[in-house]
Structure 1
């Protein structure tokens, strides 16, 4: 396990960066033009970034980014 110490300003910046990244990935996951394989990779990365965000965000904020594990399948 790796530990890091952040001051208050750095925590706010990390919070901001993680939220922006989660927002971008949510947009990409909603884009029907992307290939299903790419969307699965983004979903896996989203889970990792969300876990990082959960360490610095209050529970009320987490609910905004919580996803259902099932995501829509593309139909060909």
Structure 2
């Protein structure tokens, strides 16, 4: 495990970057045109970034990005 110290400005920037990344991945996961393997890779990355964000974000903010683990099926 690694530790890092951030000042308040850096914490706000990290919060912003992680939220934007989560937003982008949620958008990509909702795109039914993407291949199943790609969607799985995005879902795994989402889980990692979400856990990073959850370490310091308020619970109200965390709930906005919580998602169930069910990946919608791609219609063929």
Q: TM-score range by the shorter chain?
A: over 0.9
Q: Which runs of 5+ in 1 are unaligned?
A: none
Task: Give distance in 2, aligned partners of 1:10 and 1:57.
Answer: 14
Shift in Å at residue 55 of structure 1?
1.2
Aligned residues: 76
Cα deviation digits, residues 16-52 of structure 1 (max 9, x gap):
0000000000000000010011000000000000001
Q: TM-score w.r.t. structure 1 length? A: 0.96
Q: Which runs of 4+ in 1 moved over 3 A?
A: none
Q: CA RMSD in A?
A: 0.6
- Within a 5 Å distance, the mapping from 1:15-30 to structure 2 comes to 15-30=15-30
Q: Structure 1 residue 57 and structure 2 residue 54: aligned?
A: no
- Within a 5 Å distance, the mapping from 1:1-76 to structure 2 comes to 1-76=1-76
